[in-house]
Every structure is written in C-alpha cells, then in structure tokens.
Amino acid sequence: MKKLLLLFGLTAVQFAYSQDTIKSEKKMEEVPTVEKNPLDIGELKINLNQKGDKWLKFGISSQIWLRSIDNNPGTAVNGVPQDQTYDAGIRRMRLIIQSQLTPFYSVFLQMGINNQNFISGGGTGTGNNGAGKKAPFFFHDAYNEFAIIPRNDFQTGKPNKNNLYLGAGLHSWNGVSRMTNASTTKMLAGDIPVFNFPTIEIADQFSRQFGVFVHGEFDRINYRFSVNKPFATNLKPAVGGVAVDNNQSGKLSYAGYAYYQFFNKEVTSTSFLAGNNLAAKKVLNIGAGFYTNKDATQSQPTENVFESHDTNIFGADVYSELPLGDKSKEMGLTLYSVFYNYNYGPNYLRVSGIMNPGTVDATFTGEKALEGAGNNRVLMGTGNIWFSQVGFVLPKFSKIVKVQPFFNYALKDMKALNQSGSYYDIGANLFLYGQNARIIAQYSSRPLYDTASKRIFDRKGEFLLSFQIVL
C-alpha cells in the first residue's frame, strides 16, 4: 500500500512540475497531425526507464450536457405528458490507462460511463436505485498489441517508412469510415451522429467487438483490418415484417478501413481518428472501408418460415484541414464528408435518441411519430446516408481562447420510408488552452415520420450546451 501511495505521489509531482511530462507525445484518444500547442495542459505519463521506451500513461475526459428538447408527439416524461424537457447529464466520462511494457508490447484499457441523466442510464427502480442513478461503469476497450514492424526502429530510433501492429481483445479498430473510428475527444460538432457505428449496442459493446486486428502504414496508406466475434442477438421477426437483429448462427464479422494521406501524415497509435485539429496543419485524406457479417439479421416472410440476411456496410469519405490566411491569425477550415451504404436485410430500420428522457404517453390521441417518444429519430437502416460537416476557426483574438463555428448535414434515404430526411446541426466551439477544454453550443433539427404514410409531417429541435474536459 505504501508503494502504491508513493507511486501516485510521485505521479502528481511529476505532472505538476516536470517539463519532461509535457512533451508533444499523443494524448489518449487523439491522433494529432500538429505539433503540441504550448497552451495545452499536457498529459499524465510515468516513464518506467531512463530511455523512455517503457511507460505508463493515464487519460481522463468528461462531457457534461445541458439540453432543451422538443419532444416527439405523444411523449410522457416520468409518467407526465410533456412537450418540452430540460435535462442535464453525463454524455461520456472516461478513464484511460495505456502502457508500453517493452518496445514490442503494449496494453490499452478504457473505462467509463455514458448517457446518464435524471431518468436514463442507471437503475430502473425508485429510491436508492431510482431511474438514472448508479450508471454502470464498464470497459470500453481492453486489448493487447504487438509491434511487428514498429513506427521507429528499436535500435536507431529513426522512423520506419512502413509499420505493422497486431492486437487482440475488446477493441475499436473498426472498418467502414474515419468516423466509425472517431475520437470522442476531438469531434468537430457537439457529438458524433451515431449512425457512423453500424452495429452500435446491437452486435457490439459501444462500437467495440471482441477479435483480432492489424493496423499500420504502407508508405502514405494508413490501414486497419479486423476479424471479430459479434455480440449475440436473438430478436424474433414478425410474420411478414421487417428484418431484425438475429445472429444466432454465430458467424464472424470482418471489417476494414484504409485512407491515403496526401499531405501531412497522422500518427495512429490508438484506434481513434480526430475529427478536428483546429486546422493547424494541411491535411487531405481519402478513405474507404467495409463491415460484413453473414446471417446477422432475420425475417419471417410467412409463418414459421425464417430467412437469414447478411449485414454489409460500405463507406467512402474525405477529410481535410486547411490553414488559411496569415499564419499569425491561426485561421483554418475543417471539412469532412462520408457516404454510407447499409444493407441489413429487407426494410430494416432503427430509431434512437441519445439520453432519451421520454416514454410513450398512452393517453395521446393525436398524430403519432414513427420514431416514438422523446427525442427519438430515425438513426439508420437498409439504405444510404450522406453526411457532411464543416468548421471554420475564426481569426485569433486571444492567447487562450479560440472560436470555431460549425455546421452538420445528414441526408438519410431509408428503404423502409417513403421520403428522404434531412438532419441539421449548427453551432460553435469555444476552445480554452488548445483542446483541453471546450464549450459547445449547438442547435439540432430532425424530421418526424408519420406512422401510416411513412412520410415527414413535422420537425422538432434540440438545443445543447456541452462542457468538455480532456487530460
């Protein structure tokens, strides 16, 4: 116990006073393309040898949300009909431990909670275990990794032109797109759109699956591929109904993503790819990826006749950051665009609402939304989605603060619906000390579909104020 206390004491002193721990190495869950901002707070790292090739690093991040939600028609909150709901909650809170025990071998662990507000994310009872209380703390990532061809030669320390790593465990080295591998600490907008994770909380655990993976670089091509065992699903389809998640035959899933880097190259020592580096360096990456799982869903065209369907997802994207104007003004443009083609089987459709406070009001007699109650929206399904976002860093006016307006647009064309839907987010980031602290103000607009006609009959909005800290 004394040794443990001494270790944490030395860690605190080293973090507070040693300049050796505030170097330009990568933070947890970020993939920098730029030199370290001198205003960045730094990271918590313990070198285990004098050479510095054995180390232990810690990362902490939190995202606190305050919201005003326009509820879908027929919503009850805590059993009371409600058109608008105000709430506060924890969208994400994470602790990361990363260790390189030898130059050949490393371990990555990420733990935390997600989506806790006054009524969701925790218990379902009352009193001490009431709705929203005691949100579960669980492992997001837990994997080991071996360096087959390291980024830097172990003897000379010089960079290798190509590198290759092999790993296994519960991981997020995903396929499909850059955003399917998104860093949640370096997002452009207030949140990622969630449909970027094609099996989120169905055949995966918060976008992770158990399996083996390889990743690395071949000259300017950055790649990742994995073979995984999806989490089990066993929903029963209705007669004549749509395909539902049922992978009882237990087939493996296969995923991959690669992108070509035209200008500055990124360092990918963790799986997470940044969506925003404040356009400090010129970046242009074009990528494509896939996810496939045989017999992942099931339908029942006629009574007691069941058909299995493969899940096949394809994505293609482009990511760019462009510094603009006088370098001293630190202006820049960030652009991202991705096209997804989803095939889960006939008329598969999924709806979801982040930290949804609402349930169905049984007494409601008006026009109901296909999406259901609260802030539910059509998330994804068999069909296509095109998503784009843009952000612009305003000219420098402070040594500490940066402002970055942004805009998101998603066009969803689902086979189960009779009309395409447009989804918008508009807002601004206020950054403090690089990207260690961020305040986000964002307004989102979503369409609502009529249950019978499956066409848009209304729109609802949601205002978000988010506070984010990353160490």
- Give residue 37's pLDDT: 54
Residue 349 has φ and ψ, to the nearest 5°, of: -145, 140
Dist. CA 278–CA 265, nearest whole Å? 16
* Selected residue with higher pLDDT from 350 and 124: 350
pLDDT digits over 69-83, tens only?
999 999 999 999 999
b/e map 100-109, b = 16+ CB within 10 Å: beeeeebbbb
* Selected residue with higher pLDDT from 229 and 11: 229
User: If phi over 0 gives left and psi between -120 and 50 gives alpha, with beta otherwise, what is residue 67?
Assistant: beta
Pair 60, 459: CB distance under 8 Å: no
Dist. CA 388–CA 406, nearest whole Å? 11
3-state secondary structure of 458: strand
- Give residue 6's pLDDT: 40
DSSP 28-83: TT----SPPPTT----EEEESSTTSSSEEEEEEEEEEEEEEEEPPTTEEETTEE-S
3-state secondary structure of 466: strand
Return the H-helix or E-strand segment holding 13: helix 2-17
| Cα distances (Å, whole numbers) of residue 390 to 332, 384, 427, 435 | 11, 21, 11, 18
pLDDT digits over 155-187, tens only?
887 889 999 999 999 999 999 999 999 999 999
Contacts of 173 (CB under 8 A, 6+ apart): 167, 181, 213, 215, 224, 226, 271
Is the pLDDT reported for residue 151 higher than 70?
A: yes
What's the whole-model pTM score? 0.90
DSSP 393-438: EPPP--SSEEEEEEEEEEEEEETTSSS-EEEEEEEEEEEETTTTEE
pLDDT digits over 183-225, tens only?
999 999 999 999 999 999 999 999 999 999 999 999 999 999 9
3-state secondary structure of 105: strand
Structural domains present in the chain: 2-470 (2.40.160.10)
SS (H, E, C) 200-248: CCCCCECCEEEEEEEEEEECCEEEEEEEEECCCCECCCCECCCCEEECC
